[in-house]
Amino acid sequence: MKQAVEFIILGATKVGEKSLVLHTLSASHGRRSFIVSVSKSSAMALYLPLNILSVEVTPNTKSDLWRVSGLKAEYALAGIRGSVLKNSVCLFMSEVLYRVLRDGEYSVELYEWCRQQILLLDGIGDDFANFHLLWLLGLCGELGFSPRMEDLMPFAGERLDDLRGLLSLPYDQALLLPLSGARRSEIAEILLEYLSYHLDTRLNIRSLPVLRELFA
């Protein structure tokens, strides 16, 4: 029996000429991969990272890779798709989630937070260069190790005051905290190192250098 599911796309892998494996996050299945049939006429923009889709899932007792159909975008995300900068932030966020979350791992609260953050990025104005830093801090909290200053001190180095500002200021003010591109990049690396420490795995985020160049 088919199940109605809403999920966030973290990435997609092409399998042959007619299928995609979608790496997703949902409230009901957590981090899980599904397979979908595609054709040359398929709207591939539907499968962009962090798209929020409603789908029908067909469970299969003989395979862990269940098939999905009837895919529909819940939100146009025009504010993201019309911006090179926001699309790049999306790539970063989706890659971090893909590498941080394990298959089957989930919580409804984490999904709802991710969903809200995507919609926040979509609707935010032009001043969002610190968005990914605040998102990383929020993700730490959602994963159960919300950083305090004393937690970050072993990792912070010369960026201690900047981190203090990001943690202590109201969100709107922290978003506008003046930071150079180099400092912003260092802070992102510090927070990824903090995540790596708590997850006991090294996070090599390949999209980070792109943000470094764009927000320089």
pLDDT at residue 93, as a whole number: 98
Block residue for tokens 């104005």: 125
pLDDT above 70 covers what percent of the chain? Answer: 100
pLDDT at residue 44, as a whole number: 87
Q: How far is CA 101 from CA 106, 114, 115, 178, in A?
A: 8, 12, 15, 31
Structure tokens at 174: 């922290």
pLDDT at residue 27, as a whole number: 95
Q: What is the DSSP string of 63-113?
A: -SSEEEEEEEES---HHHHT-HHHHHHHHHHHHHHHHHSPTT---HHHHHH
pLDDT at residue 157, as a whole number: 87
pLDDT tens digit sequence for 61-110: 888 899 999 999 999 999 999 999 999 999 999 999 999 998 877 789 99
Rounded-to-integer distance, Cα 143 and Cα 67, Å: 29
pLDDT at residue 39, as a whole number: 82
For 34-43, what is the mean pLDDT? 85
CATH number corresponding to 78-214? 1.20.1440
pLDDT at residue 17, as a whole number: 84
pLDDT at residue 109, as a whole number: 95
Does 3-73 carry CATH code 2.40.50.140?
Answer: yes
pLDDT at residue 193, as a whole number: 96
Rounded-to-integer distance, Cα 67 and Cα 138, Å: 32
C-beta contacts of 105-112 below 8 A and 24+ residues apart: 105/30, 105/31, 106/25, 106/26, 106/27, 106/28, 106/29, 106/30, 106/31, 107/30, 108/27, 109/142, 110/25, 110/142, 110/143, 111/8, 111/25, 111/26, 111/27, 111/30, 112/27
Residue 30 has pLDDT above 80, yes or no: yes
Parse the chain into domains and list their residue ranges: 3-73, 78-214
Q: pLDDT band for position 1 (50/70/90)? A: confident
Query: Which residue type does 151 have?
Result: D
For 122-130, what is the mean pLDDT? 94
Summary mean pLDDT of the chain: 93
